[in-house]
Structure 1
Amino acid sequence: MLSVALQTLRTRWITFVGSFVALALGVGLIATMGLALASSLDAPERGPERFARASAVLRPADTLRVPSPIGDRVKPLAAPKAVTPGQAAKAAAAGRTVEDRSFPVRAEGGPRDLVGHPWSTAAFAPYELSAGRAPKAPGEVVVTGDWAEPGQSVRTARGKVTVVGTVRDLGFEDAVFYTDRRAASISPRIDQLVVDGPPGKVRAAAGGLRVLTGNDRRFADADPDRDSQALVAVNAMLGTAAGMTGFVSVFVVASTFAFAVAQRRREFGLLRTAGATPGQVRRMVVAEALLIGVLASAAGCALGAWGAPRLARFMVDNEVAPSWFTIGDYSWPYHLAFWTGLLVALAGVVAASWRAGRVGPTEALRDASVDTKTMTWGRWLFGGGLLLAGIVTLVFALMSQPGDLLHRKTYTSRPMLLITAVALLAPVLVRPLTRLLAWLPAQLPGAGGMLVRENAAAGVRRTAAIAAPVLVTVALAGSLLGATATLNEAKATEVREQTAADFVVTGAGPGGFDRAAVERMRQVPGARVSPSAESAVFVLEEGVALIRSDARAVDPAGLDAAFDLPLVAGRVADLDDRSIIVNDEWERRTVGDTVDVWLGDGTRASLTIAAVMRAGTGNNGVYVSQRNAAGSPVDRVDVTLAAGADRAAVAEGLRRAAGPLGASVQSREAWIAAAYPETSRQTRVGYLVVLGIALLYTGIALANTLVMATSDRVRDLAVLRLAGATGAQVLRLVAAEAAMVVIVGGVLGVLVAGLNLAGLWAALGVLDVWSPVVVPWTTLGAAVGACGLIAVVCAVIPAGLSLRVRPVELAGVRE
Structure 2
Amino acid sequence: MLSVLFSGLRARWVTLAGSFLALALGVGTVAATGLALAATFDAPHRGPQRFAAAPVVVRGADRLEVPTPVGVRTRKLTSPRPVPPAVVTALARLGPTVEDRTFPVSVTAAARLDADGTGPVGRPGPVPDGTGRLDDSRPVPDGTGPVDHPRPVADGTGPVGHPWPVAAATPYRLTAGRAPAAPGEVVVTAGPGSGVRPGDRITVTTPRFTGPRTVVGTVRPAGFETAVFFTASEAARISPAVDAVVVHAPAAAVRTAVAAADRAAPATPDVTAPEATTAPLAVLTGDDRRRADPDPDRDAEALVSVNALLGTAAGITAFVSLLVVASTFSYAVAQRRREIGLLRTAGATPGQVRRTVYAEALLVGVLASAAGVRLGMSGAPRLAALMRDEGIAPGWFAIGERNWPLHTAFWTGLAVALLGSVLAARRAGKVAPVEALRESDVDSGTMPLSRVVLGAAVLLAGIALPLLALVRDPADLLARKTYVTQPMVLITGFALFAPVLVRPVTRLLLWLPSRLPTAVPLLTRENACAALRRTAAVAAPVLVTTAMAASLLGTTATLAGARAAEADRRSAADFVAVAGGGAVPAAFVDRARAVPGAVVSASRSTSLSVLEEGTALITSEARGVDPADAAAVSSLPLVAGDLADLDDGSVIVNEEWATHRMGARVTVWLGDGRRTTLRIAGVMRTGTGGNGVYVTPRNAGGARIDRVEVKVRAGADRSAVAARLAAAGEATGTTVTARSEALADEGRSSGRNTRVGLLMILLIALVHTGIALAAVQVMATAGRVRDLAVLRLAGATRAQVLRAVAAEALAVVAVGAVLGGAVAGLNLLGVRAALGRLGADAGIVVPWGTLGLVVAVNALVAVVAAVLPAALALRVRPAEHVGAGA
So what's the TM-score if we normalise by structure 2? 0.90
Deviation per CA, 1:612-647: give whole Å up to 9, x if none.
110101000111000101321111112223343222
Deviation of 1:367 after TM superposition, in Å, equals 9.6
Deviation of 1:678 after TM superposition, in Å, equals 5.6
Counterpart position of 1:331: 403
Match of 2:229 among 174, 177, 181: 177
Deviation per CA, 1:742-799: give whole Å up to 9, x if none.
1110111111111110100010111122111000111111111111111111101111
Whether the 8 Å contact between 1:93 and 1:205 is mirrored in structure 2 is no
Are positions 1:500 and 2:576 aligned together? no
Match of 1:117 among 144, 151, 162: 162
Q: Which runs of 5+ in 1 are unaligned?
A: none
Whether the 8 Å contact between 1:488 and 1:677 is mirrored in structure 2 is no
Match of 1:160 among 195, 212, 219: 212
Task: Judge which range, 319-328 or 53-62, deviates more.
Answer: 319-328
Match of 1:615 among 686, 689, 700: 686
Counterpart position of 1:202: 254
Deviation per CA, 1:181-204: give whole Å up to 9, x if none.
111111112111111101111111
Counterpart position of 1:486: 558
Q: Distance in 1 between matches of 2:616 and 2:316?
A: 31
Counterpart of 1:711, as a letter, is: A
Counterpart position of 1:600: 671
Counterpart position of 2:189: 144
Whether the 8 Å contact between 2:786 and 2:885 is mirrored in structure 1 is no
Alignment of 1:17-56 (within 5 A): 17-56=17-56
Q: Distance in 2 between matches of 1:299 and 1:454?
A: 39
Match of 2:480 among 390, 408, 411: 408
Alignment of 1:525-604 (within 5 A): 525-604=596-675
Q: Distance in 2 between matches of 1:526 and 1:368?
A: 84
Q: 1:614 to 1:677 in 2, by over 3 A?
A: farther
Counterpart of 1:187, as a letter, is: S
Q: 1:191 to 1:169 in 2, by over 3 A?
A: same
Counterpart position of 1:293: 365
Whether the 8 Å contact between 2:51 and 2:289 is mirrored in structure 1 is yes
Q: Distance in 1 between matches of 2:440 and 2:240?
A: 86
Counterpart position of 1:389: 461
Q: Distance in 1 between matches of 2:8 and 2:734?
A: 74
**Secondary structure of the structure 2 residue equivalent to 1:699:** helix
Whether the 8 Å contact between 1:532 and 1:634 is mirrored in structure 2 is yes
Deviation per CA, 1:658-701: give whole Å up to 9, x if none.
33332222333343344445663332232122111111112211
Q: Distance in 1 between matches of 2:867 and 2:574?
A: 62
Are positions 1:255 and 2:327 aligned together? yes
Whether the 8 Å contact between 1:142 and 1:176 is mirrored in structure 2 is yes
Alignment of 1:459-474 (within 5 A): 459-474=531-546
Counterpart position of 1:371: 443
Counterpart of 1:242, as a letter, is: A
Counterpart of 1:411, as a letter, is: Y
Deviation per CA, 1:370-397: give whole Å up to 9, x if none.
1125411222112111110111111111
Counterpart position of 2:265: none
Match of 2:392 among 320, 345, 362: 320
Deviation of 1:101 after TM superposition, in Å, equals 0.8
Deviation of 1:210 after TM superposition, in Å, equals 0.8
Q: Distance in 2 between matches of 1:644 and 1:468?
A: 62
Q: Distance in 2 between matches of 1:778 and 1:394?
A: 27
Counterpart position of 1:70: 70
Whether the 8 Å contact between 1:405 and 1:411 is mirrored in structure 2 is yes
Deviation of 1:511 after TM superposition, in Å, equals 4.2
Match of 2:348 among 276, 289, 293: 276
Q: Distance in 1 between matches of 2:728 and 2:793?
A: 87
Whether the 8 Å contact between 1:265 and 1:365 is mirrored in structure 2 is no
Percent identity reads: 60
Deviation of 1:365 after TM superposition, in Å, equals 4.5
Deviation of 1:657 after TM superposition, in Å, equals 2.7
Q: Distance in 2 between matches of 1:397 and 1:556?
A: 36
Q: 1:286 to 1:166 in 2, by over 3 A?
A: same
Counterpart of 1:151, as a letter, is: G
Counterpart position of 1:15: 15
Deviation per CA, 1:428-471: give whole Å up to 9, x if none.
11001101111112111132111100000111000000000001
**Secondary structure of the structure 1 residue equivalent to 2:71:** coil
Match of 1:443 among 493, 505, 515: 515
So what's the TM-score if we normalise by structure 1? 0.98
Counterpart of 1:606, as a letter, is: T
Whether the 8 Å contact between 1:532 and 1:555 is mirrored in structure 2 is yes
Deviation per CA, 1:487-543: give whole Å up to 9, x if none.
011011111211112322x22134412434322222222222211111100000111
Match of 1:793 among 859, 864, 867: 864
Are positions 1:80 and 2:80 aligned together? yes
Are positions 1:523 and 2:571 aligned together? no
Q: 1:596 to 1:93 in 2, by over 3 A?
A: same
Task: Judge which range, 572-581 or 634-643, deviates more.
Answer: 634-643
Q: Distance in 2 between matches of 1:357 and 1:542?
A: 57
Match of 2:706 among 629, 635, 649: 635
Whether the 8 Å contact between 2:611 and 2:618 is mirrored in structure 1 is yes
Counterpart of 2:32, as a letter, is: T
Counterpart of 1:288, as a letter, is: E
Are positions 1:661 and 2:661 aligned together? no
Moved >6 Å (runs of 4+): none
Please, what is the CA RMSD of the aligned residues?
1.6
Q: Distance in 2 between matches of 1:261 and 1:188?
A: 79
Whether the 8 Å contact between 1:103 and 1:511 is mirrored in structure 2 is no
Task: Judge which range, 663-672 or 776-785, deviates more.
Answer: 663-672
Deviation of 1:812 after TM superposition, in Å, equals 1.2
Counterpart of 1:106, as a letter, is: S
Deviation per CA, 1:581-611: give whole Å up to 9, x if none.
1111111111111110000000001101111
Are positions 1:625 and 2:693 aligned together? no
Counterpart of 2:198, as a letter, is: P
**Secondary structure of the structure 2 residue equivalent to 1:763:** helix
Are positions 1:218 and 2:270 aligned together? no
